[in-house]
Amino acid sequence: MEQLFAALEGGLERLNSAPTPEELEAVRVELIGRKGLIAELSKGMGKLSPEERVATGKKLNEAKQTLEAAYEARQAAFKSAALMQRLEAEWLDLTVPPSGLAPGAMHPITQIQTEIEELFVSMGFAVLDGPEVETEFHNFDALNIPPTHPARDMQDTFWVEGGHLLRTHTSPVQVRGMQTFKPPFRMIAPGRVFRNEEVDASHEHTFTQLEGMMVDRDVSIANLTYFMKTLLAKIFGREDVTVRLRPGYFPFVEPGFELDIQCMVCEGSGCPVCKHSGWVELLPCGLVHPQVLKLGGLDPAEWGGFAFGLGLTRLVMMRYAIDDIRWINSGDLRFLNQFGGPRA
């Protein structure tokens, strides 16, 4: 018995100095396990007198508590060390670029088109499509451009078999709009248009336009200017923009305007971007010509409207200061991939 107690005395030291979790466990089993030293000593207490039994029991209990506390402390130390080791071992270089697929980019034309579509839809405009191969009637005649009109010379038209043509502007969708909707209505029509022009840094035969039209009982120049300012403020991300209307001749509007925006580089004081005029020519617009309303099946005495045409390709070039229009339809990912990522 005395020997056993002596072993118990040494047990504390053994627990504290167990070199591995496994040895710690072995010592625990040997000392305080169910068949360990304490249990064995407890069994031997039956031979003792009642007084001795009380004293020994108390002593064993104290010893057991001490040993268990030592065990737990030692075990916690091991766990903590193991965790430290794991954390240390799990070091990662998080600056290494990720694997997996990065998002691609929508074409910048699509992006600006979507922005403008969303704006106009929010103001009650429907979005319309029209064919890229058009009839002469829709592209010219119905827009008050009869065969003898010199304006047909201004349009360098691609003609195709069957007497049709590649639309030279999105304006034919005006006619389709009048044929589709009952007035009053508001619509825009973005799309691809074609001009028979040699391609160079600033000329393209294929580009994207956005046509807009509002038809109602009382539509004024003041209303047109209002929508144009709203549109341009949105496009250029400004609270307000300064615009001006000046006379412009387009057979399908009367009166017709060129709308200029005050140069945003120099704020109107003159710079190379605006050719020192303080203004940048942006879009043609006007009140819908009564003849166009008539050809669209509307009575010009009852209905009026405004129409405008916006060159999306040109807007993209302005927005990103793209120096060569040929990038737009190049399919070159070195160019296109630059337009990805979320923007607020």
Partner 1 sequence: MKFSRNWLADYVPGLTADGAELGRQITMRTAECEGVEDHAPQLKDVCVARVESVEPIAGSPNVKAVVETGRYGRKTLVCGAPNCRAGLLTAYWPLGVKKIAGVGSEGMLCAGDELGINRDHNLIVELTDVAVGDPLPGLVPDAVIDIDNKSLTHRPDLWGHFGMAREVAATFGLELKDPTDISLLPSGEPQVNVQIEDFTLCPRFSAVVFENVKVAPSPLWFQYRLQAVGLNPINNIVDITNYVMAELPQPMHAFDADKVPGQTLIARAAKANERLEALNGETYDLDPSMIVVGGLDGPLAIAGIIGGDPSAIGDSTTRIIFEAANWNPVAVRKATVKLKLRTDASMRFEKSLDPENTLRGIARAIALMKLVCPEARLAGGVADVRGPAVAPAPIRISMPWMAKKLGRTIGQNEVVSILEALGFGVTSANGELEVTVPSWRATKDISMDADLVEEVGRIIGYASITPTAPRMDVVPPKINRERAFHNGLRRHLTHVGFTEVHNYSFVADAEARKFGFDPADHLRVLNPIAEDQALLRISLLPKIWKNIDDNRKHFDQFRLFEIGREIHKRPEGLPDEVPHLVAVVYAKDDGVAGLNQLKRLALDLLPEASFRAVAGVRSFEHPARTVAVMAGDTSVGRLFEFHPSFVEVGRAAVLELNLRTMEKLATGRTVAYTAVNKFPSSSFDLAVVVDARALAGDVAQHMPGAVFIEDYRLPDGRRSLLYRLTISRPDRTLTGEEVTAERTRLIEHLRAQGFELRA
Site for partner 1 in 159-178 (CB under 8 A): 159-162, 164, 166
Which of Zn ion, partner 1, none is residue 265 near (CB under 5 to 8 Å by kind)? Zn ion
181-220 mask for partner 1 (x: CB under 8 A)?
---x-xx----x-x-xxxx-----xx-------x-x-xxx
Contact status: 76 vs partner 1 (CB under 8 A): no
Contact status: 83 vs partner 1 (CB under 8 A): no
| Angle of CA points 279, 282, 287, to nearest 5° | 115
Contact status: 102 vs partner 1 (CB under 8 A): yes
Nearer to partner 1, 25 or 136 (CB): 136
Give the nearest distance from C-beta 230 to partner 1 in angstroms.
9
Tokens of 204: 């393209």
- Which helix (H) or strand (E) is 219 found in, with range? none
The region, left, alpha or beta by phi > 0 then psi within -120 to 50, assigned to residue 321 is: left
User: Rounded to whole angstroms, how far apart are CA atoms 155 and 153?
Assistant: 5
Contact status: 121 vs partner 1 (CB under 8 A): yes
Nearer to partner 1, 24 or 292 (CB): 292
Give the nearest distance from C-beta 261 to Zn ion in angstroms.
10
User: Rounded to whole angstroms, how far apart are CA atoms 239 and 281?
Assistant: 20
Q: Tell me which residues touch Zn ion (CB under 5 A).
A: 263, 265-266, 271, 273-274
Among 34, 47, 86, 334, binds partner 1 (CB under 8 A): 334
Contact status: 268 vs partner 1 (CB under 8 A): no
Nearer to partner 1, 18 or 189 (CB): 189
Q: Stretches 5-13, 48-56, 62-70, 331-339: which one binds partner 1 (CB under 8 A)?
A: 331-339
Place of tokens 């010893």: 63
Among 252, 257, 303, 308, binds partner 1 (CB under 8 A): 257
Which of Zn ion, partner 1, none is residue 115 near (CB under 5 to 8 Å by kind)? none
User: Rounded to whole angstroms, how far apart are CA atoms 115 and 95?
Assistant: 35
Tokens of 226: 């209002």
Tokens of 96: 């290494």
Tokens of 144: 């008050």
User: Rounded to whole angstroms, how far apart are CA atoms 192 and 328?
Assistant: 12
Which residues 133-152 are close enough to bind partner 1 by CB under 8 A? Answer: 133-135, 148, 150-151
**CA distance readout (Å), 323 to 106, 202, 318, 328, 329:** 20, 8, 9, 11, 14
Contact status: 42 vs partner 1 (CB under 8 A): no
Q: Stretches 24-32, 41-49, 52-60, 336-344: which one binds partner 1 (CB under 8 A)?
A: 336-344
Nearer to partner 1, 107 or 319 (CB): 107
Contact status: 319 vs partner 1 (CB under 8 A): no
Which of partner 1, Zn ion, none is residue 271 near (CB under 5 to 8 Å by kind)? Zn ion
Tokens of 245: 């209307």
Contact of 43 with 34, CB cutoff 8 Å: no
User: Rounded to whole angstroms, how far apart are CA atoms 140 and 152?
Assistant: 8
At 91 the three-state DSSP class reads: coil
Cis peptide before 184 (omega within 30 of 0): yes
Contact status: 280 vs partner 1 (CB under 8 A): no
Contact status: 256 vs partner 1 (CB under 8 A): yes
Strand order in the sheet with 185-194: 126-127, 185-194, 206-216, 304-311, 279-288, 253-262, 243-247
Under rule CB under 8 A, how many of the chain's residues touch partner 1? 85
Contact of 178 with 297, CB cutoff 8 Å: yes
Which residues 234-253 are close enough to bind partner 1 by CB under 8 A? Answer: 244-249, 251
User: Rounded to whole angstroms, how far apart are CA atoms 35 and 43?
Assistant: 10
Nearer to Zn ion, 131 or 278 (CB): 278
